[in-house]
Every structure is written in structure tokens, then in C-alpha cells.
């Protein structure tokens, strides 16, 4: 906080001003569970929806990674419509989950409609290998249909 206190003595340029700075103690950052909420919803036997709300950065990306790990169905939709910030650490988690899905012959789709998330996805060219949708209902309808053909 800065207070300007004028001196009673002035110079020929007018009253001299002295700036008093009161150091403020930095506020601690809230724990990761308050910055990012992740929820898994089994939509059908073949479809899992992982919804994230909040900020995905280096401190919170592990929560998202945990939700995308383990036993997964043949199709997964990652809903990022309530994400206000997506950092590179979060992007790595998304790309890693999609790469794992491809090797396991599963599909993954991302739903995003906020500018910060769409911008990062576009800058890194994610839409070239992970389908990105603006609306969850479109992803629910199309991602399970995009399952790769089984190897003969």
C-alpha cells in the first residue's frame, strides 16, 4: 500500500511529496484442491467424462493426471469448459493421456470454450492429434464413434 504524505516545506517547484511504502506480507497460495476440482463421470460403459474446473498449472496438473490414469474405458472426454487457466504442465498431462489412449487403441477428446485454454491448445497444435470440441454434447456424440478399428 502506498500513501502520499505532503511535507509542509516546499521548494520552488511546489510541495515536496514523500512516498511511504508499507510492506505487505505475501498471501499464501491456496492448496491445489482449492485451485482445481476434478470429477470423473461414467457416462456409459464405453465413455468416461473427466471434468476440470479451476486452474491447471504445475501445482495442480497432478490432480488431472491422477484422474486420467488407471483403468479407462474405450473413450474419454476431457471437459475443460470451466478451466480458467491452462499452463504447459496441464497441456503435457493432456497430451500424455491422449498418447497413452492411442497406444491402447482408445479415443480421447477435449471440450474447451474459454480463450486461455483454446489459445494454448491452438498454439501447440493439439487439435492436429486430439479432437477439440466447443460443446460437451458434440464430444459425447462423436468421440465414442471415433474408436480405431481393431487389428486383424
Report if residue 67 sits inside a domain.
yes
Going from the C-alpha of 42 to that of each of 21, 45, 76, 88, the distances in angstroms are: 54, 7, 9, 27
The pLDDT assigned to 144 comes to 81
Is 24 inside any structural domain?
Answer: no
Give 133's contacts (C-beta < 8 A, 6+ positions apart): 109, 110, 111, 112, 139, 142
- Residue 1 in domain: no
Which pLDDT does position 146 carry in this prediction? 73
Q: Please indicate whether residue 27 or residue 117 has the higher confidence score (pLDDT).
A: 117
Domain that includes residue 79, residue range: 32-146
Give residue 145's pLDDT band: very low, low, confident or very high (50, 70, 90): confident
Angstrom distance (rounded) from CA 92 to CA 32: 18
| The pLDDT value given to residue 10 | 54
Residue 65: predicted pLDDT: 95
Q: Specify the 3-state DSSP secondary structure of 118.
A: helix
3-class secondary structure, 92: helix
Q: Looking at the predicted structure, is the pLDDT value of residue 77 above 70?
A: yes
Q: pLDDT tier at 75 (50, 70, 90 boundaries)?
A: very high
Does residue 3 sit within a domain? no
Residue 2 confidence (pLDDT) above 50: no
pLDDT at 79 over 70: yes
Calculate mean pLDDT across residues 75-99: 95
Nearest CA to 93 out of 132, 61, 124 is that of 61
- What's the pLDDT score for residue 57? 92
Average pLDDT, the chain: 83
Q: Which helix (H) or strand (E) holds 132?
A: strand 132-133
Q: How far apart are CA 96 and CA 152, in angstroms?
A: 26
What is the value of pTM for the model shown? Answer: 0.74
Report yes or no on 60 lying in a domain: yes
**For the domain that residue 90 is a member of, what is the CATH number?**
3.30.750.24
Structural domain contains residue 72:
yes
pLDDT digit string (tens) for 104-144? 999 999 999 999 999 999 999 998 999 999 999 999 999 88
Total domains in the chain come to 1
Amino acid at each position: 500500500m502506498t500513501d502520499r504524505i505532503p511535507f509542509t516545506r516546499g521548494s520552488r517547484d511546489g510541495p515536496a511529496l514523500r512516498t511511504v511504502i508499507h510492506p505487505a506480507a505475501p498471501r499464501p497460495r491456496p492448496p491445489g484442491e482449492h485451485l482445481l476440482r476434478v470429477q470423473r463421470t461414467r457416462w456409459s460403459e464405453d465413455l468416461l467424462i473427466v471434468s476440470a474446473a479451476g486452474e491447471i498449472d504445475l501445482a495442480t496438473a497432478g490432480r488431472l493426471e491422477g484422474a486420467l490414469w488407471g483403468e479407462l474405458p474405450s473413450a474419454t472426454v476431457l471437459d475443460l469448459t470451466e478451466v480458467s487457466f491452462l499452463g504447459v504442465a496441464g497441456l503435457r498431462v493432456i497430451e500424455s493421456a491422449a498418447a497413452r489412449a492411442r497406444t491402447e487403441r482408445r479415443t480421447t477428446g477435449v471440450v474447451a470454450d474459454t480463450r486461455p485454454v483454446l489459445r494454448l491448445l491452438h498454439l501447440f497444435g493439439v487439435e492436429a492429434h486430439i479432437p477439440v470440441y466447443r460443446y460437451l454434447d458434440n464430444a459425447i456424440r462423436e468421440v465414442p464413434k471415433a474408436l480405431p478399428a481393431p487389428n486383424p
